[in-house]
Amino acid sequence: MVTLVNIREDVDEILPGVVADRRYLHENPELGFQEFNTAKFVAERLEALGVEDIRTGINITGVTGLVRGTADGPGKDRVVLARADMDALPILEENNVEYRSKNDGVMHACGHDAHTAMLLGVARVLMDRRDTFAGTVKLLFQPSEEAGDGGALGMVEQRVLENPHVDACFGLHVASRLPTGTIAVMDGPKSAAADEFEITVQGRGGHGAYPHACVDPVVIGAHIVTALQSLVSREVDPLDRAVVSTCAFKAGEAFNVIPDTAMLGGTVRTFSGETRDRLDTRIHELATGIAESMGGSVSIRYRRGYPSVVNDPAMSDIVRDAARAVVGEEGLEEGKPGMGAEDFSYFALERPSCFFNVGTGNPDKDSEWSHHHPRFDVDEDGMAHGIATMATALTMFLGQEG
Ligand SMILES: [Zn+2]
Ligand SMILES: [Zn+2]
């Protein structure tokens, strides 16, 4: 069987190569669904390692490959999936590092360069020790996590969880708020579902001095904004968590003209499906009711974004055991749910899964800037913990009885 000590030694040995890969990816970032060079780089690396059944072009730029263990054991018919995202953000990098982005205005400011490099590292560690485990690891590199336009969903729709049938999924995200040497794992809902709404209020414009001859969409809109604020405070269980934020309110151009329309836009974040459905319905009801009672009308566009990532406790326990072996009990933290969104949720909806965080914050390396900040960077030493924890968790899953 795999001994954990050996995995850690192997990871230390390959870390310089992983760092070089990460820096190459950092220098050459690509936006969502444009990760053509990144995907080519990934596929070439997998091929050089001898990874089997490499498939490319899944949902435009997604890549998968299989590492088949050659040992005999209880997991020999099982398949476990490890996922990395590959896309960068439309941000102009402000770091003065030698591996600064060469693609001005595009930057790996969330650490997806590290995720991709780490999963290639996992591939290498597992290929080197195929004789120590039974079963199959499916490596998955997905496009477009950031833009909310379906990198993961499209891959699931193209049946990446079949052929061979995947039994469980694991994913990780680096975290600048966690110090290097810590791994955070939690059970249950980890990230919020992120939906957006756009409400167009139709009134009847006219002269600002003659409001009685008009239907003022600005006043209707203001009532709607206020009413929406009562949804979370009055209609959501205080022990549940939700956010409704009206972030845009656009209407009018002149000080003496009542406009014809007003537009409100905002975001809705929820953890439970029930609350999600309820807020969707209630936003429609409130906005429609208020507008109609005031003589106007509304048209509403409500777009459902990524669902909540929900971790399976049994899968989280596997990651906890793996993390203890890598960073010790003192490095293992209880994770906290966040209101951000993450499309790993589409894998977690389909299979028992765990998504965990790997600390890369280090004041000595100036890597504590928040994600999506133009100075964001990762402490590359943290990648060793990510690779070792992921590789260990995958082989532990395959090594489990039953
Ligand atoms: Zn991000
Ligand atoms: Zn991210």
* Ligand 2 centroid – CA 264 distance (Å): 28
- Cis peptide bond N-terminal to 164, omega within 30: yes
- The predicted pLDDT at position 99 comes to 98
Ligand nearest to C-alpha 91: 1
Domain architecture of the chain: domains with CATH:
4-190+308-399 (3.40.630.10), 193-304 (3.30.70.360)
* Ligand 2 centroid – CA 250 distance (Å): 30
- The predicted pLDDT at position 149 comes to 85
* Ligand 1 centroid – CA 110 distance (Å): 5
Q: Which residues surround ligand 1, an ion (CB under 5 A)?
A: 110
How far is C-alpha 310 from the chain's CA centre? 12
55 three-state secondary structure: strand
Which of the following is catalytic: 145, 333, 343, 380? Answer: 145
- The predicted pLDDT at position 5 comes to 59
- The predicted pLDDT at position 9 comes to 85
Q: Is 145 one of the annotated active-site residues of the chain?
A: yes
- The predicted pLDDT at position 3 comes to 54
Q: How many other C-beta atoms are found inside a 10 Å radius of the C-beta of residue 206?
A: 17
Which of the following is catalytic: 21, 30, 85, 87? Answer: 87
Question: Tens digits of per-residue pLDDT, 79-100?
Answer: 999 999 999 999 999 999 999 9
Question: Tens digits of per-residue pLDDT, 133-146?
Answer: 999 999 999 999 99
Question: Tens digits of per-residue pLDDT, 303-324?
Answer: 999 999 999 999 999 999 999 9
**Bridge partners for 266 per DSSP:** 197, 246
* Ligand 2 centroid – CA 345 distance (Å): 13
Q: Is 342 one of the annotated active-site residues of the chain?
A: no
* Residues lower than pLDDT 50 in the chain: 1-2
* Ligand 2 centroid – CA 337 distance (Å): 15
Is pTM, for the whole model, over 0.75?
yes
Q: Are strands 310-311 and 193-202 parallel, antiparallel or unpaired?
A: unpaired
